[in-house]
Amino acid sequence: MAYLFWKQTALEDFSDHTIEKYYHNGYVFTRKGKGMMDQTRSVRIDLEAFELSSENKRILRKTEEFQMKLEDLPFTEYHWSIGKMAKDFYDTKFGEKTFSANKVKELFTNPEQNNFNCVFVYSIAASNVGYCIARKTKNILHYSYPFYNLSDEMNPNTGMGMMVRALTYAKEQGKKYFYLGSAQRPGDIYKMQFKGFEWFDGNTWQTDLTQLKNILK
């Protein structure tokens, strides 16, 4: 499936103000190269409107053994096993060659070549089981490339537990918006469950979930 985008730009000014302006206009950072942004059907959560639903709380209870911390990039504890975990995850979820281990290593260790400046690290009993590469500014957080251990013994609620924890963290930190990438395929409907959900239609931000569901069918 081809990735949807309407416009592309190469950002040269990396100030928080400029990045936030582009995100507000439907652009998101990509992994294509330093400064590269696509304008797409971006989705975000208005954190002023966000609050945990009963389902969100259930997920947190089901994953209460998870610990989360936000680390700056470059990640000094990078190990080849992180790249393997990411590659295995994306190969399984989205098909082979979706995300190479070398690209993962670059995102974790070479900030001069990419657009991301932090990573969520998730652990159970001091063992790291998941990560999400992200971009933070004063007012926004882009939860961009999550991945986790797909072994049979892993909690089936892992992915959602990671996301809800990051969302809660962003709200507690006073961020205004939490960006969740884009809505491109039917499987992206799960992103709509959060209170404060908005999507970019190419011109403006919308809150009509029925319209978006029809687009994604």
CATH code of residue 159:
3.40.630.30
Distance CA 137, CA 92 (A): 31
Tens-of-pLDDT digits for all 217 residues of the chain?
567 999 999 999 999 999 999 999 999 999 999 999 999 999 999 999 999 999 999 999 999 999 999 999 999 999 999 999 999 999 999 888 889 999 999 999 998 899 999 999 999 998 999 999 999 999 999 999 999 999 878 899 999 999 999 999 999 999 999 999 999 999 999 999 999 999 999 999 999 999 999 999 9
Is cis: bond before 156, omega within 30 of 0?
no
pLDDT for 112: 86
- pLDDT at residue number 7: 97
Q: What is the pLDDT of residue 154?
A: 86
User: Given phi > 0 = left and psi -120 to 50 = alpha, else beta, which region is 161?
Assistant: alpha
- Apex 161 CA angle, 189 and 128, nearest 5: 130
Residue 2: inside a domain, yes or no?
no
In a domain, 125, yes or no: yes
pTM of the model: 0.95
Q: Is residue 48 situated within a structural domain?
A: yes
* Assigned domain for 173 exists: yes
Residue 191 located in a structural domain:
yes
User: What CA–CA distance (Å, rounded) separates 192 from 213?
Assistant: 9
Q: Is 216 exposed, middle or buried (0-12, 13-18, 19+ CB in 10 A)?
A: middle
pLDDT at residue 38, rounded to an integer: 97
Say what the pLDDT of residue 151 is.
Answer: 86
Task: Give the helix/strand (H/E) hosting 128.
Answer: strand 127-136
Which domain does 20 fall in, by range?
A: 7-216
In a domain, 1, yes or no: no
Q: Per the structure block, which two tokens stand in for 97?
A: 């060659």
- The H or E element spanning position 28 is strand 27-29
- C-alpha 34 chain-centroid distance: 18
Residue 33 within a domain: yes
Total tally of structural domains belonging to the chain: 1
51: number of Cβ within 10 Å: 12
CA distance 72 to 113: 15
pLDDT value at residue 153: 80
Whether 134 maps to a domain, the answer reads: yes
